[in-house]
Amino acid sequence: MIDVVFLCTIEAGEPYGKSKTEVAEFIWMTTTEIVEDDAIPVYLKENIKQAAFIIGEQ
């Protein structure tokens, strides 16, 4: 399994997936929403918490 998390700032425009078979949708969530969502796997929550730490969010 490969887990890739991108940490970025959107400057303009709307995000879109280049391939609908690879990316079904985009959902904007806060770190708190992600950590509290039971449907999100633990490994992804940990990666998001690490990204939040890097940007000084937590």
| Domain carrying residue 35 | 21-58
pLDDT tens, residue by residue, 5-46: 777 777 888 877 788 888 777 788 889 999 999 999 999 999
State the amino acid at position 44 in one-letter form.
L
25 inside domain = yes
Whether 7 maps to a domain, the answer reads: no
**Least confident interval from 2-6, 37-41, 51-55:** 2-6
Long-range contact set of residues 43-46: C-beta below 8 Å, sequence gap at least 24: 43/3, 44/3, 44/5
12 in a structural domain: no
Q: Does 55 fall in a domain?
A: yes
The pLDDT value recorded for residue 1 is 61
Q: Is residue 58 part of a domain?
A: yes
Q: Contact at 8 Å (CB) between 3 and 41?
A: no
In a domain, 43, yes or no: yes
14 in a structural domain: no
